[in-house]
Amino acid sequence: MAAGRLIIKTEFLPTKYRGYMLPLSQVFWLAGSLLIIGLASVVIPTIGWRWLIRIASIPGIILIMAFKFIPESARFNVSTGNIQAALATLNHIARMNHSVMPEGKLVEPVLEKRGRFADLLDAKYLRTTLQIWVIWLGISFAYYGVILASAELLERDLVCGSKADSEVVVTGGDSGESQSPCYCHMFAPSDYRTMIISTIGEIALNPLNILGINFLGRRLSLSITMGCTALFFLLLNICTSSAGLIGFLFMLRALVAANFNTIYIYTAEVYPTAMRALGMGTSGSLCRIGAMVAPFISQVLMSASILGALCLFSSVCVVCAISAFTLPIETKGRALQQIK
C-alpha cells in the first residue's frame, strides 16, 4: 500500500519537487504512529490489546473505500495506450488548480510489453536491483529493530543505576516454576511518553534529509544516514541515564525514518514506468523479510546478549551504507524514465 501511493505521487510530481514533497509525507506516517501510541496508552490498560488491534483496523477499512477516489497515474494510462483516461485525469488536475491544459496532443510510445521480473535482473539494472534489495532489507531490519528494541529496553529498565533484575518468574501448571524469566510487564505512563518522544524523532531530521536528498544526491545522503544509524545502534550499549537513552532512541528513529525516505524516492525514480511498480513491489517484499527477522534479534537475541544484537544491527547498517554509496545510478535531477 505504501509503495503504491508513493509510485502515484512520484509519477504526478515534477522532477524539481519530488525531493521536497515526498519526504514531507512522513508527517502523516508520524501522525499515525503517535496516534497508535496514544491509543495504546488508553486502551491496553483498560480493555486490553485485542481491542487496540480492532480499533486500529478501522482506518484501513475506510481507506479501502477511499481508493475509488484516487486517480490512476496519467503516465501509466498513456503507457498502456489509454490516452482518453490520461487526458481526463490531467483535465481534472487542471480544473482543481484553476488552470487550463496546454495546447497540443498527448503523445507517448505505447509499451507492448509490461515489466517482467526478468527485466529487473537484466544487465542494465542487475547491479542496481541487487543493491537496492540489500538496502531495503537492511533499512526495514533496522527500522523495526529499533522500534522493538525500544520496547525491550524500556521493559527491562536497562538504564544505568536502575534495576536490571526486574524479571518475573512464570509458573506453569504442576511443574512449579518455569525455567525462563519473563520480563513482560505493563508499560508505565513514563514509558509511553518515552515512546512518543522517540517517535517524534522520525520527523526531526526531515529538513536536513530534504536538503541532503536535493543537494548531496540520493546515494550520498543515504550512505551518510545509514552510517550514522550504525553508530547510534552501538551507542545504545553505553551506560547512560534515562534522558541519554531517550536521546539515542530519538536520533535512531530520526535516522531510520530518513533512510526510508531516501530509498523510497530512489527506487521510484531509478526504474522506468513499465518496471516502477514491479521494482517497488519486489523491494517491498525484501522489506517484509527484514521486518520479520527483526523481532528475533530485538527480542530473542537481545535477551541473551544486548551487545551482540546491537552489533548485528550496526553491521547490517554498515553494509547498507556501502551499498548505497556504490549504487551505479544517481537519480537527483533525473527525469522519470518511460522506457527501458
Instruction: Parse the chain into domains and list their residue ranges.
Output: 115-160+186-339
Q: How far apart are CA 251 and CA 228, in angstroms?
A: 9
- Is the CB of residue 237 less than 8 Å from the CB of residue 310? yes
Per-residue pLDDT, 131: 94
Inter-helix orientation angle 218-235/306-325, to 10°: 170
Containing 169, the helix (H) or strand (E) segment is: strand 168-171
Per-residue pLDDT, 155: 60
- Is the CB of residue 80 less than 8 Å from the CB of residue 310? no
Task: Look at the pTM and tell me if it is higher than 0.85.
Answer: no
Radius of gyration of the chain (CA): 23
For the domain made up of 115-160+186-339, give the CATH fold.
Answer: Growth Hormone; Chain: A; (1.20.1250)
Closest among 340, 324, 4 to 138, alpha carbons compared: 324
**Three-state SS at 13:** coil
Per-residue pLDDT, 338: 63
Per-residue pLDDT, 245: 79
8-state DSSP, 338: -
- Is the CB of residue 316 less than 8 Å from the CB of residue 142? yes
Tell the residue number behind the cell numbers 491509543, with chain if given. 39
CB atoms near residue 302 (< 10 Å): 24
Residue 143 in grid coordinates: 527500522
Per-residue pLDDT, 110: 56
Per-residue pLDDT, 172: 42
- Residues of the chain with pLDDT below 50 are 161, 163-181
Between strands 177-182 and 168-171, the pairing is antiparallel
What count of Cα atoms within 13 Å lies in the side-chain half-sphere of residue 97? 9
How long, in residues, is the chain? 340
Closest among 86, 85, 80 to 111, alpha carbons compared: 80
8-state DSSP, 300: I
Q: Is the dihedral of CA 82, 86, 92, 94 positive or negative?
A: negative
Phi, psi for 113 (deg, rounded to 5): -120, 130
Work out the angle at residue 256's Cα, subtended by the Cα atoms of residues 253 and 258, and round it to the nearest 5 degrees.
105
Q: How far apart are CA 77 and CA 111, in angstroms?
A: 11
